[in-house]
A and B are shown apart, each in its own frame.
Chain A
Amino acid sequence: MQFLWAFVIGGAICVIGQLMFDLFKLTPAHTMATLVVIGAIIDGIGWYEPLVAFAGAGATVPITSFGNALVHGALTELEKSGWIGVISGIFKVTSAGVSAAIIFSFLAALVVRPKG
C-alpha cells in the first residue's frame, strides 16, 4: 500500500511542479525554490510529518522534503538547545543529501569527460 501512495503522492507533487512550469511560466530554478519554501512552511505548521507517514518516499523524495528537513532540523535543535538551535540545527537532517550530492558530483567531474 505504501508503494501505491508513494507513487501517487510523489507524482502529484511533480504535477504541481509541471503546472508551475507550464501555467505560471516559472523557470526551473524559481519552481524549485518555491517548492522548497512550500515544504518548509508545511512542516512549520506540522503537516509534513503526517504526509511522510502516509506516503513514505512519495513525500521524502521530492524537493519539498528538503524544505521539510531544513525546518525539522531547526525545530528539533530549537527544542533541545534553545534559540541558537534555529541557526545550528538547520542542516542537521539534510547533511546526507547535500553532502552526497557534493561528493558524488565532484567525483563525477574528476572521472567523466563531458559529452558535447
Chain B
Amino acid sequence: MSSNSSAENGKYPKMSMSPKEYQAFAKTREPSRSIFTNCLKAFLFGGMICLIGQGIQELFIHLMGMSKEDASNPTVAVLILISVILTSLGVYDKIAQWAGAGTAVPVTGFANSMCSAALEHRSEGLVLGVGANMFKLAGSVIVFGTVAAFFVGIAHLLLGTNGGH
C-alpha cells in the first residue's frame, strides 16, 4: 500500500493514459533499430565469416591437395571448432549481439547454439544437463532439415528422377 500513498502524495505522476495510449507512447520511446543498419551489419559479418571459410577451404585445397568437394567438410569442422572456442571464451555472444543474423546464419551460429546450451546446463550434470540440452536450440534445425530432406527425396523417388544430380 505504500506505493499507493506515495502516488497520492504526488511523488509519481498520475497514470492517466489508457493502455492503448500507453502502448503508442512506449513505442515512441523505444530505441529505434534501423532495419537497414541491422542488414548491413549482418551482411558484413556474415560475409566475413564466409570469407574466412573460403580461406580455410583454399588452405585445405592447396596444402592438403583436396578437391573442392572434399575440402568443404573439414572447412565446416574448423569453423565449428573456432566457434566453440570463441563461445567458450564468451566472445561469440558479444559479437552476435552486434552482428545479428550475420553470426547466427553461418554454421558457426549453429555450433554456438549447441556449445552455449552445453555450457549453460553443465551444472545439471553431463547426462541430464549437457547431453539432454545440447540440441535445445539446434534441434529444430536438424528436425526440420531432416524432414524436408526426406520429403525432397520422396518427391524425387515418385517423379522417377532418382536424384538426377
Contacts and interface: CB of A to CB of B under 8 A. Distances in A.
Contacts of A46: 164-165
Contacts of B22: none
Interface residues of B, number: 81
Interface string B103-133: 0111111110111011110110010001000
Interface string B141-153: 1111110111011
Given A12-B43, A14-B46, A75-B156, A33 B144 contact: yes
Interface in A82-116: 83, 85-87, 89-91, 93, 96-98, 100-102, 104-106, 108-112, 114-115
Interface stretch (B7-15, B23-31, B48-56): B48-56
B152 A43 contact: yes
Contacts of B95: none
Contacts of A28: 104, 113, 137
B140 interface: yes
Contact of B50 (A7, A32, A79, A112): A7
Contacts of A71: 148-149, 152-153
A47 to B, nearest CB: 11
A3 B107 contact: no
Contacts of B155: 44
9 contacts: A6-B51, A32-B105, A57-B50, A57-B56, A61-B50, A61-B53, A63-B107, A97-B77, A104-B84
Interface of A: 2-3, 6-23, 28-37, 39-41, 43-44, 46, 49, 52, 55-58, 60-67, 70-76, 78-79, 83, 85-87, 89-91, 93, 96-98, 100-102, 104-106, 108-112, 114-115
Given A28-B113, A83-B157, A93-B73, 4 more contacts: A33-B141, A36-B141, A37-B148, A102-B114
